[in-house]
C-alpha cells in the first residue's frame, strides 16, 4: 500500500465530505481527488521519469498542499524546502538533493532562480496535462509495492558543509499514518488546523487526517488571533504547534476567549515544554494538551502522551512507545538497560528511515543492528513512560525547529574578525532553548554583535540566528584544543547573571 492510497480510500468512501476548508471555500474529497489527479498528470507530463525527486518550496497554502499530494500521486519523491531557511542554505539543499524539478511560489521562486534543477512556478500544475497520462488513481496502477522505495528526502537541518538528507521510505510513511490513526483515534469528524508549516508538522499530519476522512482547515493568516478565529469558526479538533506558539495562543485566548469546545488535541512537539507552561495552557484550553516524541529519522510518533495522562510527574515525560514501534534504552555498546537506568534512546521498526542520502558512514553509525541510535539520552520509569534527559548530540531545538551549532559556527567563523566561536542552546522561557554564540575575536579586530547576527540571518535565516552574541577573551579548550561546550555554556550563564 502506498501512503497516497489512504487519501484515495477516503475519496471513495466520503466523496462529498469536506477535505479542505479555506477562505476560498470548501473542497470535497471528490473535488480534491480530481484536482490532485489532474495536477499529477501535469507533473508527469513535465517530468515523466518514475520515482524522480521533486522539490516544493512554498509558504502554507492550498496550492502547496495539492502540489504535495500530486507529487505523491505521480509516484515522485518529495523534497521539502522550508521558506524559513536562509537562501544560501536552500540552494545548498537543492544542489545536494538534485531534484529533477523544483516547484516554488512567487517568493521562493526569486530566491531559487539559477539553480541547476529545473525551476517552475507552483502554478504550472494548474495547466492541462496536454497528453493522455495513464495515471489512474496514482501509483496503484503500477505493479508491486516496494516499501523501501523513498517517499521523501527531508533535511534534518540544512548544513553549510554536507547536508544530511533523511530518506523516508514508503513503509515509514505508512507506519506513521497507521500510528496516528491509532494513537489519536482519528475519525471523519476531525478537522486539523494548519498552524505548522507543511514542510514540517502539517506534512506529517496531512495523510492521517485525510485518511480518516477528516478535513484540513487553512486559516486566513498566521497570527495567534487568526489561528484561534479559524479554530473556533470551523470547529477544529486537532492541531500541532511548538511550545512558543502555544504560549502565544494561550495569551490571545485569555485576552479574547473563543469557543474552542470542539478541540480534542493540542499537540506540542519539537521542543520541551516546562510543567508550569503546560499547566497554564491546560487552564486556558482544558485537558487537550498532549505531546509526542519523534525525529526526522523516525517521523512524528515514536512515543505518545495522550491528554488523559498529562498530569503530575508525567508532565515531564514524552509518553509511552506507540503501537508499531519498539523503543529501548541502551548503553554505549548497544546493550538494553532496565527501567530506571539512563542511556541512549534506540528505536526499531518500520517507522525508521532508510538511511542518509549519499552518507554511508553516517548511516552505519546511526543504524546499528537494525536499531536507530537517536543520539538522545533518556530513561524509562517502571510504568513504561519515557523521560528525555538530554541530547547526546549538540542539536538545539528552538521554537520547534532544529538548529545545528556547526551550521552557525561555520558562518560566524567566515567573518574575518572571528578567531574562534562556539554555539550552544540556553534554556529560555519563550523558545524552549535560545541560540547563543560565544565568540573570540582576532587580536586588534572588532565587530559588533548586530553585524554577526545579520551575517547569520542572511546565510541561514532568522531561526538559526543567535539571540545573543557573547564576546570572550578566551574560550575553554581541552588538551587537544577542542572547545568545551559545557564550559562555554557555564561561562555564558555566568556572564548573563553578572550583566
The residue to which cell 507506519 is assigned:
175
Please give the pLDDT value at position 1. 86
Per residue in 47-60, is it b (16+ CB within 10 Å) or e — as a string? Answer: beeeebbbbbbbbb
Burial grade of 327 (CB within 10 A; 0-12, 13-18, 19 or more):
buried
User: The C-alpha cell of 380 is what?
Assistant: 524509562
Q: Is residue 428 part of a domain?
A: yes
Q: Are 337 and 331 in contact (CB under 8 A)?
A: yes
* Helix (H/G/I), strand (E/B), else coil: 212: coil
Please give the pLDDT value at position 303. 98
The rounded distance, in Å, linking the Cα atoms of 482 and 150 is 38
In 3D space, the residue among 180, 133, 107, 140 whose CA is nearest the CA of residue 38 turns out to be: 133
In 3D space, the residue among 152, 143, 197, 199 whose CA is nearest the CA of residue 174 turns out to be: 152
Task: Please report which residue ranges of 212-346 form alpha helices under DSSP H.
Answer: 224-233, 243-255, 275-285
Q: Is residue 492 part of a domain?
A: yes
Q: Is residue 453 part of a domain?
A: yes
Q: Is the pTM of this model over 0.75?
A: yes
Find the domain containing 470 and state its range.
396-498
Q: Are 40 and 138 in contact (CB under 8 A)?
A: yes
CATH number at residue 422: 3.30.300.30
For 139-202, the DSSP string reads GGGSSS--TTSEEEEEESS--SSS--EEEEEHHHHHHHHHHHHHHHT--TT-EEE--S-TTTHH
Q: Is residue 443 part of a domain?
A: yes
Q: Is residue 79 part of a domain?
A: no
Please give the pLDDT value at position 304. 97
Q: Is residue 486 part of a domain?
A: yes
CB within 8 A of 110, min separation 6: which ones?
none
Report how many domains make up the chain. Answer: 1
User: The C-alpha cell of 485 is what?
Assistant: 561546550
CB neighbours of residue 268 within 10 Å: 25
Q: Are 56 and 71 in contact (CB under 8 A)?
A: yes
Identify any residues that bridge with 168 across adjacent strands, giving them in sequence order: 152
CB neighbours of residue 488 within 10 Å: 22
The rounded distance, in Å, linking the Cα atoms of 114 and 162 is 20
Q: Is residue 444 part of a domain?
A: yes
In 3D space, the residue among 287, 283, 292, 222 whose CA is nearest the CA of residue 251 turns out to be: 283
Q: Are 293 and 253 in contact (CB under 8 A)?
A: no
Backbone angles phi, psi at 461, to 5 degrees: 95, 170
Q: Is residue 254 part of a domain?
A: no
Rg (CA), the chain: 23
* Helix (H/G/I), strand (E/B), else coil: 412: helix
Q: Sign of the CA dihedral 345, 348, 352, 354? A: positive
Q: Are 57 and 105 in contact (CB under 8 A)?
A: yes
Taking only the tens of pLDDT, the chain with its 499 residues reads: 899 999 999 999 999 999 999 999 999 999 999 999 999 999 999 999 989 999 999 999 999 999 999 999 999 999 999 998 889 989 999 999 999 999 999 999 999 999 999 999 999 999 876 543 444 344 444 556 789 999 999 998 533 345 689 999 999 999 999 999 999 999 999 999 999 999 988 899 999 999 999 999 999 999 999 999 999 999 999 999 988 889 899 999 999 999 999 999 999 987 778 788 899 999 999 999 999 999 999 998 999 999 999 999 999 999 999 999 999 999 989 999 999 998 999 999 999 999 999 999 999 999 999 999 998 888 999 999 999 876 666 778 888 888 878 789 889 988 999 988 999 999 998 899 999 999 999 999 999 999 999 999 999 999 999 999 999 999 998 644 568 888 999 999 998 887 6
Amino acid at each position: 500500500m502506498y501512503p497516497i492510497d489512504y487519501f484515495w480510500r477516503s475519496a471513495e468512501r466520503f466523496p462529498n465530505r469536506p477535505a479542505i476548508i479555506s477562505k476560498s471555500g470548501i473542497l470535497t474529497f471528490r473535488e480534491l481527488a480530481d484536482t490532485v489527479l489532474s495536477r499529477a498528470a501535469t507533473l508527469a507530463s513535465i517530468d515523466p521519469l518514475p520515482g524522480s525527486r521533486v522539490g516544493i518550496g512554498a509558504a502554507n497554502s492550498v496550492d502547496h498542499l495539492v502540489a504535495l499530494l500530486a507529487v505523491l500521486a505521480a509516484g515522485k519523491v518529495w523534497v521539502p524546502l522550508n521558506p524559513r531557511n536562509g537562501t544560501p542554505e536552500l540552494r545548498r539543499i537543492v544542489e545536494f538533493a538534485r531534484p529533477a524539478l523544483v516547484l516554488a511560489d512567487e517568493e521562493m521562486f526569486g530566491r531559487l532562480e539559477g539553480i541547476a534543477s529545473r525551476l517552475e512556478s507552483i502554478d504550472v500544475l494548474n495547466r492541462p496535462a496536454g497528453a493522455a497520462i495513464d495515471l489512474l488513481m496514482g501509483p496503484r496502477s503500477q505493479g508491486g509495492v516496494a516499501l523501501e522505495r523513498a517517499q521523501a528526502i527531508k533535511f534534518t537541518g540544512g548544513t553549510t558543509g554536507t547536508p544530511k538528507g533523511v530518506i523516508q521510505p514508503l513503509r515509514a510513511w505508512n507506519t506513521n499514518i497507521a500510528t496516528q490513526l491509532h494513537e489519536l483515534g482519528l475519525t471523519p469528524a476531525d478537522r486539523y488546523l494548519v498552524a505548522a508549516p507543511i514542510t514540517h508538522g502539517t506534512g506529517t499530519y496531512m495523510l492521517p487526517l485525510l485518511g480518516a476522512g477528516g478535513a484540513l482547515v487553512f486559516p486566513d493568516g498566521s497570527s495567534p488571533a487568526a489561528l484561534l478565529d479559524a479554530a473556533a469558526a470551523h470547529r477544529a479538533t486537532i492541531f500541532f504547534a511548538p511550545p512558543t506558539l502555544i504560549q502565544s495562543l494561550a495569551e490571545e485566548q485569555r485576552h479574547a476567549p473563543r469557543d474552542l469546545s470542539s478541540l480534542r488535541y493540542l499537540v506540542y512537539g519539537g521542543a520541551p515544554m516546562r510543567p508550569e507552561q503546560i499547566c497554564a495552557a491546560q487552564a486556558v484550553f482544558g485537558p487537550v494538551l498532549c505531546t509526542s516524541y519523534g525525529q526526522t529519522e523516525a517521523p512524528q510518533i515514536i512515543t505518545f502522551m495522550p491528554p488523559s495522562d498529562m498530569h503530575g510527574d508525567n508532565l515531564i515525560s514524552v509518553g509511552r512507545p506507540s503501537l508499531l514501534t519498539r523503543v529501548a534504552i541502551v548503553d554505549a555498546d548497544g546493550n538494553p538497560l532496565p527501567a530506571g537506568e539512563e542511556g541512549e534512546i534506540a528505536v526499531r521498526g518500520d517507522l525508521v528511515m532508510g538511511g542518509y542520502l549519499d552518507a554511508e558512514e553516517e548511516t552505519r553509525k546511526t543504524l546499528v543492528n537494525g536499531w536507530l541510535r537517536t543520539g538522545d539520552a533518556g530513561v524509562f520509569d517502571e510504568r513504561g513512560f519515557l523521560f528525555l534527559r538530554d541530547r547526546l548530540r549538540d542539536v538545539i531545538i528552538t521554537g520547534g525547529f532544529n538548529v545545528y551549532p556547526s551550521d552557525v559556527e561555520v558562518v560566524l567563523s567566515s567573518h574575518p574578525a572571528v578567531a574562534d566561536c562556539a554555539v550552544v542552546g540556553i534554556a529560555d522561557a519563550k523558545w524552549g532553548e535560545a541560540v547563543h554564540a560565544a565568540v573570540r575575536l582576532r587580536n586588534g579586530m572588532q565587530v559588533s554583535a548586530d553585524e554577526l547576527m545579520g551575517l547569520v540571518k542572511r546565510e541561514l535565516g532568522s531561526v538559526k540566528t543567535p539571540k545573543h552574541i557573547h564576546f570572550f577573551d578566551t574560550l575553554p579548550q581541552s588538551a587537544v584544543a577542542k572547545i568545551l561546550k559545557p564550559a562555554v555554556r557555564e561561562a555564558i550563564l555566568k556572564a548573563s547573571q553578572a550583566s
